[in-house]
Structure 1
Amino acid sequence: MRQFNKAIRSTLALWLLTAFIYPLFMLICGQIALPFQANGSLITNNQGKVIGSVLIGQPFKSDRYFWSRPSTVNYSTGPEAPITGVSGASNLAPSNPELLKRIQGEVSRLKQANITPTADLVYTSGSGLDPHISIDAAQAQVQRIASIRGINPEKLQSLVAENTDSRFLGIFGEPGVNVLKLNLALDAF
């Protein structure tokens, strides 16, 4: 009975430590050290309304904006919906006719807009929520946006450069352009 009592106390102590004390400690540390990141890296407008997250890709369909990667995820954004998304890929095989039809539709949409198709403007990301496009994909859209907005293309080039995120720790991944930040900078321009 003594061993059983000891086992119960040890279990309760570990449960208290791992289920309450440690998560509470991490929550407090996150709020103190990195509050922006701990709260979802949310961006607000001038009125304080949340308009997006730096970490989650969002669809931009207007010709006045840089287009993001296509996604198989149905984003639940809008005035009446919270800013959340369900992560996931389409799981369509390369030989699937639906995938081929979707890709051909993206390529023809890009060509109609006089944009050279790049891989990240045609194919979805694995999570469906990637907020970045390549520098080449952003550069391919500069002329379209410059002519629609009446902005000098060189100024748009500098906006792209300002909103380009470098490699993680200088060695991992490729540089990418955060589309939400770039479009916000474009509106502020």
Structure 2
Amino acid sequence: MNKHVSNIVPVLRLGLVCLVLCSVLYPLAVTGIGQLFFPYHADGSLVEDENGTVIGSELIGQTFTDPALFQGRVSSIDNDAAGSGTPNYAASNPELISRTEGAIKDQQTANPDGGPVPLDLVTNSGSGLDPHISVEAAEFQVPRIAEASGIHEEELYKLIEQHRTSQAEELLGAPAVNVLLLNMDLQAMK
């Protein structure tokens, strides 16, 4: 056997073993463990309504335009999970400044009694898909929602508190609420 060919055979064998391990066995093992121990999360944390119809995911933001519902973060990709990410504009970029100023005006118009607009209501998250807003951003919207829905502000503040992230989650970041889950319970109150 040629000296060069005999050197290639072990390399090809190792490549084939790595290919099978990394592209077949490992993904199957991880998927199987996920489905066995964390099926809800492994399937995308899908949220269903009372009829069993999937209405979204806990992990992907949605756009809500009804004035009687909480609004989430601005998304430059319209919360389209097919292409997560946002433009990395510099703070001095005219397009970013214009979009942010427009979002501030929209929030001030929709929430005239809210005071200063919380930052997360006028800026993108890194993925453009963040389903959470800060507790401050949710509370900022309470007067508008109370007026539009007829639900007392006190009840809305209680609802926000019920949806607040856990203390363990708050160790890693600011207190937040999931907008989809909050709006589902808000609609159930009506």
Give the TM-score normalised by structure 1. 0.88
Q: Does 1:139 align with 2:139?
A: yes
Is the 8 Å Cα contact of residues 68 and 131 (structure 1) preserved in structure 2? yes
Q: Is the 8 A contact 1:42 1:54 kept in 2?
A: yes
The whole-number CA distance in structure 2 between the counterparts of 1:120 and 1:182 is 17
Counterpart of 2:157 in structure 1 is: 157
- 1:167, CA displacement in angstroms? 5.1
Matched, 1:14 2:11: no
Query: Which residue does the alignment assign to 2:86?
Result: 89
CA distances 1:90-116 after superposition (whole Å, capped 9, x unpaired)? 222222222222111111111112133
Q: 1:60: which partner in 2?
A: 64
* 2:102 is the alignment partner of 1:98: no
| CA distance in 2: counterparts of 1:91 and 1:66, whole angstroms | 27
Deviations 1:48-88 (A, max 9, x none): 22211101111111101001111111334xxxxxxx34211
Distance 1:141 1:2, change over 3 A: same
Give, in angstroms, the shift of residue 168 of structure 1: 4.8
How far apart are the structure 2 equivalents of 1:99 and 1:72?
10
Letter in 2 for 1:142: V
1:187 alignment partner, SS class: helix
Q: 1:165 to 1:184 in 2, by over 3 A?
A: same
Structure label with greater radius of gyration: 2
Q: Secondary structure at the match of 2:83?
A: coil
Give the length in aligned residue pairs: 182
> Any gaps of 5 or more consecutive residues in structure 1?
77-83
Q: CA deviation at 1:8?
A: 2.4
Q: Distance in 2 between matches of 1:85 and 1:11?
A: 32
Change (3 A) 1:107 1:92: same
**Aligned residues: CA RMSD:** 1.7
Within-5 A mapping of 1:19-34: 19-34=23-38
Distance in 1, matches of 2:187 and 2:87, equals 32
- Extract unaligned runs of 5+ from structure 2: none
Q: TM-score, normalised by structure 2?
A: 0.88
Instruction: Say if 2:181 is the partner of 1:184.
Output: no
Identify the structure with the greater helix proportion.
2
Tell me how far apart the structure 2 counterparts of residues 177 and 136 of structure 1 sit (CA, whole Å): 10
CA separation of 1:160 and 1:85: change in aligned 2, threshold 3 A: farther
- Displacement of 1:172 in angstroms is 1.2
